[in-house]
Amino acid sequence: MVVTVLRPLAAQRAHERTELSLDRASRQIAALYDPYDLREIARVLRENRPAARDAFLLLSAWDGRLVATQPIGPDLRARIIPLLLSSGLADSSALRDSSAGEAPFGRSGDDFASLEARLAVLGHRAVNIEGGRFGEVVAMGTAEGVSLWALPETRALALFMPFAILAAGVAGLLMVRIVVTRLQALEQVARRVTGGELSARVERSGRDEIGRLEQSFNLMTERLAVARAQLEATDLQRRRLFADITHELATPLTSIRGYVETLANPEVPSSEEERATYLNDVLEEAKRLELLIADLLELTRLEAGSVPLKPVRLDWAALCRHAARRLGPRFSAAGLTLEWAGLETPAWVLADGRRLEQVVDNLLGNALRYVPAGGHVTLSMARLDPVLAGHSTDRPAAGWGLTVSDDGPGIASEDLPHVFERFYRAESVHAQGGTGLGLAIVREIASQHGGRVHAESRQPRGAAFIVELPSVE
């Protein structure tokens, strides 16, 4: 700071003050009553001496006289005269010994002995009297510049510098302490998060860079918590799926093994009729196992998207009427009544016909399995109410709704949210057989077509399954 700022500033101020001293001295000499009074000239030069250390004024008159604030010794005179001549401030032909006219007061010439080797002209001003040039007021001094301490600003800086350094140190210590405290708080929360506590959050302490870092850290922690929750849910679902698959596969395999061990054991007496019954039971369990594996593979492929849909514009109502006619004999054989109470006009949708046929078959097969003999099953279709649709975020705003209702045992309220989950079967119908995957397949097919499914319990008894799909013109 001293080299790049204060020293140029000091030089500039010293130059300005030297110029001001020259201006005042030249004007006052020109205004003297007797401009040839050497004592008055010396007084004016002494009173207007520049503030810079080792600087002084002298008058170089055009008649050859040199007037200074003190006697000029021979050595100093020998140094001053060449400088004046080289600067055009004196006439060599007019120079003469003016020691008799020099003022006998002021500092001695020995005071300037150390300046002889470094002396230079710092500035000059012409003195004009009555329109004629009387001489030049010359500022002499060292050529190495001025002392920094000659400036009031520098002296003030020297006075207040220790206090400024102390204040800056205290302020810097406080700022560092505040920053360190905030970083330590962030570090503590980071350690808690590292230990698995993803609910930990940093209390934001400002809007600066550290505050934005704290906000980003909280956002990262929230996303980590969401990711972990999703991972835990997926892992729980996977473990449940494995447990369900193991249980569902173990049941028919256990039955098959029991029947085969009975048939293979020679110590167990059995008639031909009993052996035929055992073999028929083994065949039924094998078919059940085959159906379970097929449904499981089908659901896995649907969820993975490995079997792409082939959507075409088709009449969903005609497809459902055809399914009702096709499955009517099976319902009659089971002592059930299947009725189509839907539209006779087209219900156009953009869908994969084979998948929609699978939806209807699974719903009717579910009713065929759980509705007791003498029951009534109704298959109907209607256009969705756009007003009601607007109140549901997952319901098509314009579409068709297929409803399969029955007067069977119904569904308990605690079972309704779970009927479309894999392998879920209510305790009241658990003994009725089935793989527990049919309704899960229905939900996945409807979802891939942009629709939804849900179940309702009817009063006084019975249940209804509704499939909603968006319509197409």
- CB count within 10 Å of CB 154 equals 18
Domains and CATH numbers, the chain: 2-150 (3.30.450), 159-307 (1.10.287.130), 310-470 (3.30.565.10)
Helix axes 353-370, 438-448, angle to 10 degrees: 150
Helix axes 272-304, 209-264, angle to 10 degrees: 160
pLDDT above 70 as % of the chain:
79
CA distance 449 to 116: 106
DSSP string, 316-364: HHHHHHHHHHHHHHHHHHTT-EEEE-S-SS--EEEE-HHHHHHHHHHHH
Does the pLDDT at position 467 exceed 90? yes
CB environment 31-57: b (16+ within 10 A), e (fewer) = ebeebeebebbbbbbbebebebebbbb
- CB count within 10 Å of CB 124 equals 23
Q: What is the pLDDT of residue 155?
A: 62
Q: What is the pLDDT of residue 235?
A: 79
Q: What is the pLDDT of residue 468?
A: 93
Residues of the chain by 3-state class (helix, strand, coil), percent to 5: 55, 15, 30
Q: What is the pLDDT of residue 112?
A: 46
- Bigger pLDDT: 221 vs 297: 221
91-97 contacts at long range (C-beta below 8 A, 24 or more positions apart): 91/62, 91/64, 94/62, 94/63, 94/64, 95/64, 96/64, 96/65
Q: What is the DSSP letter of 202?
A: P
CA distance 411 to 427: 10
* Cβ atoms 57, 19 nearer than 8 A: no
* Cβ atoms 118, 54 nearer than 8 A: no
Query: Exposed (0-12), middle (13-18) or buried (19+): which is 329, by Cβ within 10 Å?
Result: exposed
- Bigger pLDDT: 75 vs 429: 75
Q: Per residue in 261-294, pLDDT tens?
A: 888 888 777 788 888 888 888 888 888 778 778 7
- Tokens representing 170 are 């205290």
- Tokens representing 343 are 């539209």
How would you classify the pairing of strands 348-351 and 132-142?
unpaired
SS3 of residue 315 by DSSP: strand
Instruction: Tell me the pLDDT of the chain averaged across its residues.
Output: 79
* 186-to-182, 215, 221 alpha-carbon distances in Å: 6, 11, 12
pLDDT above 90 as % of the chain:
12
- What distance lies between CA 349 and its chain's CA centroid? 44
Q: What is the pLDDT of residue 388?
A: 41
136: nearest Cα among 199, 84, 94: 84
Does the pLDDT at position 170 exceed 50? yes
- Bigger pLDDT: 373 vs 69: 373
CA distance 288 to 473: 42
Q: Per residue in 126-151, pLDDT tens?
A: 888 877 778 888 888 875 555 555 55
CA distance 338 to 467: 18
Q: Per residue in 359-380, pLDDT tens?
A: 999 899 888 888 888 899 999 9
Of the listed ranges 113-127, 217-231, 400-414, the one predicted with least confidence: 113-127
Length of the chain: 473
Does the pLDDT at position 75 exceed 80? no
Q: Per residue in 5-50, pLDDT tens?
A: 666 776 777 788 888 988 998 888 888 888 778 888 888 888 888 8
Of the listed ranges 315-329, 369-383, 404-418, 443-457, the one predicted with least confidence: 404-418
- Bigger pLDDT: 441 vs 145: 441
Rounded average pLDDT over 164-178: 88
Q: What is the pLDDT of residue 335?
A: 92
* Cβ atoms 447, 428 nearer than 8 A: no
- Bigger pLDDT: 421 vs 314: 314
Q: Distance between terminal CA atoms of the chain?
A: 82
How would you classify the pairing of strands 399-406 and 119-129?
unpaired
Q: What is the pLDDT of residue 465?
A: 93
Of the listed ranges 64-78, 138-152, 440-454, the one predicted with least confidence: 138-152
CA distance 267 to 264: 9
Q: What is the pLDDT of residue 108?
A: 40
- CB count within 10 Å of CB 222 equals 13
- Bigger pLDDT: 162 vs 318: 318
Q: Per residue in 395-434, pLDDT tens?
A: 555 789 999 999 888 888 888 888 888 776 665 554 455 5
CB environment 413-424: b (16+ within 10 A), e (fewer) = eebbeebbbbbb
